[in-house]
Amino acid sequence: MRAAMMLEALVHHFNVFLLAFQFYRERVITDEHLKFLRGCCAGIEIIPRAFLQSQSDFSPIYWFKNVAFDSVHVFKLSMAPLARLCLKADRHQRPFCVLDLDDFESKTQRRIAALEDLAGNAEAAARQRAAAEKWAAMERCYIPLFDRVYVCSEYDRLEIGNVYDCLNKVSVVPNAVCSPELTDPPSECPYTFLFTGTMAYLPNADGVRFFCREVLPQLRTGALSPFRIVIAGSKPSPEVRSLASEHPEVSVTGEVPEMEPYFSEASAVIVPIRAGGGTRVKILEAWSYRRPVVSTSLGAEGLDATHGKQLLIADTPAEFSQACLNLMNEPEKARRIAVNGYEWVRSRYTSSNVREALEEAMAGHLRPTIRLSRGTSCAYDGSKTF
C-alpha cells in the first residue's frame, strides 16, 4: 500500500519508469495491477526471479537505456543493493538517489527475536538475531550512500537519524490509506472484534495467539453480552487455525478477496501486536472505516495517537480485556473514539499528506509541476524522469 501511494504521488512530478521485481514464485502482480501501473507510468519492466539470481551487479539503466534519470527511488532496504551502480557513481553525475524505509529492519528483527525467546524458541531467536545483524550491516552500508531517506514516522526519523548520524537527510513521508465508503458499526449482537494481517508474519501470528490465550479468557469472564473474534488474513498456520477450535468465539478466515466487508461487520478492531516496526496500516484502515481501536503501545508506535482519544492503549492481558469491555459497555465512548480516529487519519494519513510530505522532502530538486492527463492519472511533462 505504501509503494502504491508513493507511486501515485510521484507521477505528479515525474515521468515514472517502474522496475518491479518478481521475488516470489507465485504471481503477485495481477492484470488489475498492470492496468493501473500502465495508466500512470511512462515505462514498466517486471524482472523475473531467475534474472536477479544471475546478476552480481545491476542498474536501472540496463532496462531503460535511452532514459536520462533525474532520480532513482528505492523502496525497501532489501532493494538497495540493486541500485549500487547508481550509488557508486560520482554524486554530481548520478541521479538523485532516495531510499524509502517502510521499517527499521534491524530493530524489527531484534524485537521478533525477543518474541521467539519469550516462546522458548532458542534456535529461532538466534536466527532472528543473526538476521538483525545482517540488516544492521546493510543499514550501515547503504543509508549513508543515499541522498535522501524516507521513513514513515517522526519516531523512526529520530531513531534512524541518530543511530546512523544522518538526521539531516531523513524525512517523514507517512503511510496512508484510501477513504472507503463509511458504514455504521452493526448494532445487533454479537459484538465483533476484528484483527487483520498476514498471518505468515510472526508478530501478527503472535498477536492473535496472545489475545486468544491470555486476553480472551478474561474478556469472556467480564462480558455482559455475546461477542466474537474474527481473524482475517492470508496464510494462517495450523496453530493459528486451531484457535477457532479452541475458542468458540473465534473464527479464522484465511485469505479474503477484500477487507471492506469485514470492517463493515466489525464493532471494533484489535491490534495486540508485541513486535514489529514502522506504523501499523491496520490501525489506519480501522480509523478510515471509523471503527474504535484497542492496541498495544508497540502496535500504535509512531502514530502520535493519544490513549482515550483516538484509540485505547493496553499492554497487559488484564488491561487489554478491560479496554475491550469498555468499548462493549460504553457505546458512546466507543463512538467518540472512532470519530476521533477517523478525523486523525483524515488529517495526517491520506494521499494528499503523502504528496505534501514528498514535495517538502524534494524541495529544491523538483521543477514546477505541469500536469498532463495520462490515462487515469496525472503525469509530469517529462522534463524529469524517475
State which H helix or E strand residue 181 sits in: none
H or E stretch covering 280: none
pLDDT at residue 24, as a whole number: 63
How far is residue 20's CA from residue 37's CA, in Å, rounded to a whole number? 11
Could you give the CA distance from residue 213 to residue 197 in angstroms, rounded to a whole number?
Answer: 18
Which domains can be identified in the chain, with CATH numbers?
A: 2-176+350-379 (3.40.50), 191-348 (3.40.50.2000)
- What is d(CA 176, CA 166) in angstroms, rounded to the nearest whole number? 25
CB atoms within 10 A of CB 114: 15
pLDDT tens digit sequence for 72-88: 899 999 989 888 888 88
User: String of b and e for 225-238 (b: at least 16 CB within 10 Å)?
Assistant: eebbbbbbbeebee
Q: Would you give the DSSP letter of residue 214?
A: I
Nearest by Cα to 358 from 176, 131, 108: 176
Residues 283, 9: Cα–Cα separation, whole Å: 22
Q: Supply the pLDDT for residue 298.
A: 94
pLDDT at 54: 60
| Residue 51: closest CA among 7, 20, 88 | 20
- The pLDDT assigned to 367 comes to 46
8 Å CB contact between 210 and 274: yes
Please check whether residue 41 is in contact with residue 64, taking contact to mean a CB–CB distance below 8 angstroms.
Answer: no
Contacts for 185 with CB less than 8 Å, ≥ 6 apart: 266, 267, 268, 290, 291, 338
Please report which helix (H) or strand (E) contains residue 375, including its range: none
Give the per-residue pLDDT at 169.
94
Q: Residue 165 and residue 3: Cα distance in Å, rounded?
A: 26
Buried b (16+ CB within 10 A) or exposed e, 274-306: bbbbbbbbbbbbbbbbbbbbbbbebbbbbbebe
For 361, residues 6+ apart whose C-beta sits below 8 A from its C-beta are 148, 150, 171, 173
| pLDDT computed for residue 14 by the predictor | 84
pLDDT of residue 21: 78
Q: What is the pLDDT along the chain (386 residues), one digit of tens a residue?
A: 898 889 888 888 788 998 887 766 555 667 777 787 888 888 888 877 676 666 555 566 667 777 888 888 999 999 898 888 888 888 778 888 999 998 999 999 999 999 999 889 999 999 999 999 999 999 999 999 999 999 999 999 999 999 999 999 999 999 999 888 878 877 778 999 999 999 999 999 999 999 999 999 999 999 999 999 999 999 999 999 999 999 999 999 998 888 999 999 999 999 999 998 877 899 999 999 999 999 999 999 999 999 999 999 999 999 999 999 999 999 999 999 999 999 999 999 999 999 999 988 887 765 443 333 333 333 334 445 55
Confidence at residue 383, expressed as pLDDT on a 0 to 100 scale: 44
Residue 44 burial (CB count, 10 A): 16
